[in-house]
Structure 1
Amino acid sequence: MAVIKGTKFDVFPLNLGGNPFGWTADRDATFEILDAFVAAGGNFVDTADSYSIWAEGNEGGESEREIGAWLKERGRDKLIVATKSGELQGVEGRSREATYKAVEGSLERLGIDQIDIFYYHYDDENVSIDNQIAIANDLIAERKIKHLALSNYTPARLREFFEKSAGTPARPVALQPHYNLLARKEYEENVQPIIDKHGVAVFPYFSLAAGLLTGKYASEEEIAGKQRTGQLEGYVTKEAFEVVDELRAVAKELDAAPTTVALAWLIAHGVTAPIASVSNPEQLTDLMAVKELKLSDAHVARLDKASAPFA
Structure 2
Amino acid sequence: MGAFAEWQPEYAARGISTFPVVVDDKLKKPAVKGYLKIGLPTSSQLALKFPAHEALGIACRRNKLTILDVDTTDERELADGLTKHGPTPFIVRSGSGHFQAWYRNGGEGRRIRPDPERPVDILGDGYVVAPPSMGSRGRYAIIQGSMDDLDRLPAMIGTRVFAQPATSLSEDKPKIVDQSDKPIHRVSGMRDGDGRNNSLFTRALRQARLATTKEELIQMVHHANTQFAEPLPNEEVLSVSASAWKYKQAGRLMVTGGEATAVIFQSDIDHLWDRPNAISLLIRLRLAHGHRNGGEFALSSAYAESMDMSVPTFRAARDDLADRFFIKIVHPGGRGKNDPPIVRLL
Q: TM-score with structure 2 length normalisation?
A: 0.22
The structure having more radius of gyration, on CA atoms, is 2
Structure number having the greater helix percentage: 1
- Larger RCO of the pair (alpha carbons < 8 Å, separation 6+): 1
Q: Which has the higher strand share?
A: 2
